[in-house]
Amino acid sequence: METLEFIIYPDGRVEERVTGIVGSSCAEVTAAIEAKLGIVAHRELTSDNFAQQQVISQSSTQLDRVSDMGDSRFSQW
């Protein structure tokens, strides 16, 4: 689950915590918010930033074998 948490301190600082976003896409998600908040004084990357999304793909290959037995009764597609 992707979450954004903001902690606003009495001195006006805002701490932003992002969880559940894997890889560098976290920066894309938070860019617009950070632009509205002002200057980013400190950025601490978590292990989620360095993780890679697992993409599961499945491919299959179908091999059609045609018997070369010389029997002309069967189709040779």
Say if residues 54 and 32 touch (Cβ distance below 8 Å).
Answer: no
Give the model's pLDDT for residue 1: 83
Residues ≥6 apart with Cβ < 8 Å to 4 = 16, 17, 18, 29, 30, 33
* Residue listed under structure tokens 């010389």: 70
Q: How far, rounded to the nearest angstrom, does the alpha carbon of residue 17 sit from its chain's CA centroid?
A: 18
Give the model's pLDDT for residue 8: 93
**pLDDT-derived band of residue 11, with 50, 70 and 90 as boundaries?**
very high
Give the model's pLDDT for residue 57: 59
Question: For residue range 26-72, what is the model confidence (pLDDT) as tens digits?
Answer: 888 889 988 998 888 888 888 777 777 665 556 555 555 555 555 55
User: Which residues partner with 16 through β-bridges?
Assistant: 6
Residue-by-residue DSSP string for 15-58: EEEEES--TTHHHHHHHHHHHHH---------HHHH--------
